[in-house]
Amino acid sequence: MSTKPTTPMRFLIGLLALVLCACTPGNSSETPEPRSSMSDEEVVLERVESEEEAFRAVKALGGLEHAWAMDWLPDGRMLLTERPGRMLLVDDGETTELSNVPAVWAQNQGGLLDVRVAPDYEESGWIYFTHSKQEGNTGGTVLSRARLDGASLTDIEELYRQTPFLGPDYHFGSRIAFLDDGTLVVSMGERGQRRERTVDIPTPTTSVGTTVRLTMDGSVPEDNPFVGSDEGLDAVYAYGHRNQQGMAIHPETGAIWQHEHGPHGGDELNLVEAGNNYGWPAVSYGDTYSDQSPIGGTTAPGITDPVEYWDPSPALSGMAFYTGDKFPNWQGHLFMGALAHQKALRVELDGQTVSDQEELLRAELGRIRDVATGPDGYLYLLTDAEDGGLFRLEPVE
């Protein structure tokens, strides 16, 4: 006896499938259901003794697919990005995937990347984010902004795109930071490009391997270093970078601190200043992956040297000055995540030099992608994995 449905039955099954399809939220204009990814919080490390503080690590959120960045709205809700193209709203234990997020080039290191809430959010409502975008066979880093309407992004505006778009699907840089003067800076990775190995690097006629500075609406500030000249793009603030995946503004001085991936060795910590050339690829503390041959020298006239460098490379990602009240001995210290070394790095600065540094949590939580001080005063870490998590560091007696 045949088990295939009769023609009328097949018609009814098809009709039912169409009805179910129409009723199921599946496009960006519809409100998604809450996504279940937060279980009961779990203490994963009971006690960690560091040089300055003792703390425990609490897993606050699990089930994250290659999480990349986090920030908080003024009401305490968290925004969180996942590289495949999802932006999540975390509200008191409930995680909702936002709809209407722009399409991203989610390949290799590309996808949905940084997210930052505007300092004037309560007045403007703007959320800024970066992602990789592809057109034809090329792509690059894009800065956009949007407002939040319930569980959906609205008023989406593309503010700036890296020029030119290039073929490689890696090294997008892509951190956002807000300056005290009402402008913002964005790191634009070098996209795998290595120009001639000479100190005579051309001035930045592209925004590849640069830090760009913009007004909040994406226009170019009149006091950018190359405005009105033929030496570089108006939007460029500093150049000669490689792949900068961490950036933070010093809470007291307002200075821009940034780290970047070296090649095979030579991760750098830089103090980024207007018009400066940071050397890549004529100057590097790393070497080539293939044969470990040098890439230029380690310093040169006209090049701004790093404040610190690391060899071998920890693969630094994420950066924050600790400004909370839960860890008094960490006040003002710089924290950085590391992917390859799977650790957090605590760095003390004395003016423009590193006076002390300490490894934390090496190989205990995983690849640390982002670091942030939460509005509750705790330190938060995001791990980069197919099943990654959000971790909170809490003081213990």
pLDDT at residue 28 in the model: 38
Q: Say if residues 319 and 335 touch (Cβ distance below 8 Å).
A: yes
| d(C-alpha 170, C-alpha 324), whole Å | 34
| d(C-alpha 268, C-alpha 309), whole Å | 4
Summarised one tens digit per residue, pLDDT across range 67-91 is 999 999 999 999 999 999 999 999 9
Residues 6+ apart with CB under 8 A from 202: 195
The residues carrying an active-site annotation are 171
Q: Is the pLDDT of residue 196 over 50?
A: no
pLDDT at residue 92 in the model: 87
Read off the pLDDT of each residue in 60-68 and give the average, rounded to a whole number: 97
Q: Say if residues 294 and 287 touch (Cβ distance below 8 Å).
A: yes
Read off the pLDDT of each residue in 102-107 and give the average, rounded to a whole number: 98
Q: Say if residues 254 and 240 touch (Cβ distance below 8 Å).
A: no
Give percent above pLDDT 90 in the chain.
82
> How is the chain split into domains, by residue range?
44-63+73-81+167-395
Which element (helix H / strand E) includes 293?
none
- According to DSSP, residue 99 is labeled B
Q: Say if residues 140 and 163 touch (Cβ distance below 8 Å).
A: yes
Question: How long a stretch of residues is the chain?
Answer: 397
Q: Which residues pair with 347 in a beta bridge?
A: 334, 357
Q: Is the pLDDT of residue 102 over 90?
A: yes
Read off the pLDDT of each residue in 208-214 and give the average, rounded to a whole number: 97
Summarised one tens digit per residue, pLDDT across range 219-229 is 999 999 999 99
Residues 6+ apart with CB under 8 A from 332: 251, 252, 321, 322, 323, 349
pLDDT at residue 311 in the model: 95
- Write down the pTM of the prediction: 0.90
Residues 6+ apart with CB under 8 A from 133: 102, 103, 104, 105, 139, 140, 141, 142, 161, 165
Q: Is the pLDDT of residue 147 over 70?
A: yes
Angle among Cα 328, 329, 331 to the nearest 5 degrees reads 70
Read off the pLDDT of each residue in 314-336 and give the average, rounded to a whole number: 98
Output the average pLDDT for the chain: 90
Which element (helix H / strand E) includes 372?
strand 368-373
Query: Residue 193, Cα to own-chain centre: how many angstroms?
Result: 20
Within 13 Å, how many C-alpha atoms sit on residue 281's CB side? Answer: 17
Summarised one tens digit per residue, pLDDT across range 17-43 is 333 333 333 333 344 454 544 457 999
Give percent above pLDDT 70 in the chain.
88
Residues 6+ apart with CB under 8 A from 153: 87, 98, 99, 100, 101, 127, 146, 147
pLDDT at residue 294 in the model: 87
pLDDT at residue 195 in the model: 55
In the numeric block, the tokens 């937060």 are attached to: 38
Task: Show contacts of 24-33: CB within 8 Å, 24+ apart.
Answer: 25/99, 28/99, 28/100, 28/101, 28/152, 29/99, 29/100, 29/152, 30/99, 31/99, 31/150, 31/151, 31/152, 32/96, 32/97, 32/98, 32/99, 32/151, 33/96
**Architecture category of domain 44-63+73-81+167-395 in CATH:** 6 Propeller (2.120)
Within 13 Å, how many C-alpha atoms sit on residue 379's CB side? Answer: 33
pLDDT at residue 203 in the model: 66
Q: Is the pLDDT of residue 8 over 90?
A: no
Q: Cis bond leading into 251, ω under 30°?
A: no
pLDDT at residue 295 in the model: 87
pLDDT at residue 245 in the model: 98
